[in-house]
Chains A and B, each alone.
Chain A
């Protein structure tokens, strides 16, 4: 034993859902048993999402000499890390994430919402308290509610769920509204496909959200808070429940909080798998035990919300900002960002990107800086084609426009929206018509059915897109799509319908050529649309291993062992399994 006797070693394993999906629990288990069997007194800690999801499983080994991040850690690698680094004092450089990679991923970021993510143990309230946790609540209870609202308003914080309404104004309206009790709801029904900001925050730093809700409760005069969280996020629910229990035990939640005349309770409600429940009035319906169907606004929930009482609804990220703003001051927060979009925004960077993960950047940074500088460009260095922002309510922005700043106004002008923060990077392998069809398939499926144009209009639009990708498109299809889109936007009650056509409209706007290629030449340039491609086997590359024959669901492939195989195009259903499975890249789409 050399270095480890001073117990200054801390080993942190990133165990948010991404880390666990990559095998983090097994890595943690092996660390635990090896440290025990080698009698090494190091502190082994589970932490949340560090953000570098592309490197999962991530392990940080810290000592007084600094810290080393190990990426793609497997159970097999654990022993050498312990022996060489912790016992021997020499980091295993070949497995460590290079410092310049960490710098380029981190240096453009400003982590306010993610301040504790990947650093503290999300299941330990003491860890949170050591990181100035619940200090903001202390501070707030010494102020008047109006002073608190004023601070939040001056910070310029806008709702991070997508709509971008000024948070302080919403709080003030709810405070002034007549009726009691008042409610504080945290919208954690993060339903946008391609978004995982809220999941990561709840899994990595649940107390920050609870503290934000407590502050909101004090500011607006509410006594009850509800977190409405997707059932698809079991780990977030589990960590939230644990955090609630700890906060109750330590009297941060309950009656006479911190000895002040302030009572506030928080409970959890699980969603049941309906995307539309992310819309605030539908969410309220769901909590009331009904089908989650939106209703006309006004009255807004701040006037008449849950059980007809004034209700303040913000999303996870919005609440997580609040304690930081209270502690550091509105002006410090407002110093980040642009004139109208203050502060930072968390993005879930995914798709064809070299360094995908969870990032937090000052508003006003350009899309290109995010994709190139932070994300390291597309995966495999392919051509950067577009980004999709805002999920099914958002749109596709072409690479040629990637220099525009990311703020609410600039992004809206493109036809997309900042949205909740899903940012999917696409390269030449993505077909824009297919992407539009994918989102429309989603929205027509999730439409609650209340408004005719949303219910039937999205269905009709989807049919047209299916026709185009099926090789049966005609020239007037594009104008019909645009016409239907306009009607759906005008005649839908809630955000789902009003924004559902956006993915189609933006792809038509920026990639009309690609639509025309499908319609006129019956070709899919990205080789995605099944009806417009044929799979063939490159005889020069095919080793005749028979793997594709085994996988083909319709027995369309034939050939003798060690001889080049061939595909019968009349039988082939273009599922692409052979293309995915071939290790030699011999199956090509033409």
Chain B
């Protein structure tokens, strides 16, 4: 899950080392290692790729190949709130594109991008498997179902209010 301070977190190579050693320095463990790093920082900081490659005795380019192959991995830090719109079949038929358009309106950025204030990243997910409640989105890992352009607005506004409250 994302936390408020994730974006600002300093990269600790000691922590990276600990994660690699936890997985017994096995080349086969590269995906779980990357998953743990992303869990920690919200993305895969490029500097960590070199470090993992060094430990596991594989090329950095191989790791880069893995990171870019699997859609879960990000090379850019996400915004404080990560919204992913489900584009499964039922959600597509139920208006996932319109929902994406509406969210873009509310948060002021388009799919695959982060809003200028760093508050929101808008992404997509192939299918959440919540097809009976289509269309769905996840907001910071939490699934919201049976949405329409108006109700997603309420969800987003609540996040905006939380931000304001935090500032105060």
Contacts and interface: CB of A to CB of B under 8 A. Distances in A.
Interface of A: 17-18, 20-22, 53-54, 56, 190-196, 199-200, 231-234, 269-275, 286-292, 348-352, 356-357, 388, 391, 422, 424, 426, 429-430, 435, 438-439, 442, 446, 448, 551, 553, 575-577, 580-581
Contact of B98 (A349, A448, A577): A577
A576 B98 CA distance: 7
B105 A438 contact: no
For the complex of A and B, 7 pairs with smallest distance between CB atoms: A53-B132, A196-B129, A272-B70, A194-B89, A350-B131, A193-B88, A273-B72
A224 to B, nearest CB: 13
A191 B130 contact: no
Interface residues on B, range: 35 or more
Given A291-B69, A351-B93, A581 B129 contact: no
A286 B131 contact: no
14 contacts: A190-B129, A194-B89, A194-B127, A195-B127, A195-B129, A200-B129, A273-B73, A289-B31, A291-B65, A348-B129, A350-B89, A424-B131, A448-B69, A580-B95
Interface stretch (B2-10, B114-122, B142-150, B159-167): B142-150
Nearest to B134: A350
B165 to A, nearest CB: 20
B92 interface: yes
Given A272-B35, A446-B126, 11 more contacts: A18-B132, A191-B127, A231-B35, A232-B126, A233-B129, A269-B31, A270-B32, A273-B70, A352-B93, A575-B97, A577-B102
A289 B69 CA distance: 12
A551 B58 CA distance: 51
A349 to B, nearest CB: 8
A123 B88 CA distance: 28
B146 A22 contact: yes
A424 B127 contact: no
A553 B105 contact: yes
Contacts of A357: 132
B146 A553 contact: no
Given A424-B89, A424-B90, A581-B149, A269 B32 contact: yes
Contact of A577 (B126, B133, B149): B149
Given A270-B35, A553-B104, A391 B89 contact: yes
B69 A581 contact: no
Given A193-B87, A196-B129, A21 B143 contact: yes
A196 B130 contact: yes
Contacts of B126: 191, 193, 232, 273, 275, 442, 446
Given A22-B145, A292-B69, A424-B93, A56 B132 contact: yes
Most buried by A among B30, B69, B72: B69
B29 interface: yes
Nearest to B29: A289
Nearest to B95: A580
Contacts of A274: 69-71
A406 to B, nearest CB: 18
A22 B144 CA distance: 7
Interface of B: 26-32, 34-35, 65-66, 69-73, 87-90, 92-93, 95, 97-98, 101-102, 104-105, 125-134, 136, 141, 143-146, 148-150
Contacts of A270: 31-32, 35
A273 B72 CA distance: 5
B129 A17 contact: yes
A580 B148 contact: yes
A258 to B, nearest CB: 30
A287 B69 contact: no
Contacts of B89: 193-194, 350-351, 388, 391, 422, 424, 438-439
A53 B105 CA distance: 30
A112 B66 CA distance: 39
Contact of B132 (A269, A356, A553): A356
B130 A356 contact: no
A97 to B, nearest CB: 15
A288 B136 contact: no
Contacts of A200: 129
Contacts of B35: 231, 270, 272
B133 A21 contact: yes
Contact of B133 (A22, A191, A272): A22
Contacts of B144: 21
Contacts of A438: 89, 92
Contacts of A287: 28
Q: Give the residue among A22, A270, A553 with the most B Cβ atoms within 10 A.
A: A22
B128 A17 contact: yes
Given A22-B146, A53-B132, A350-B134, A580 B98 contact: yes
Nearest to A203: B129
Contacts of B72: 231, 271-273
A522 B78 CA distance: 41
Residue among B26, B28, B144, B146 with the highest chain A CB neighbour number at 10 A:
B28
Nearest to A268: B32
B92 A577 contact: no
Contacts of A232: 125-129
A234 B134 CA distance: 19
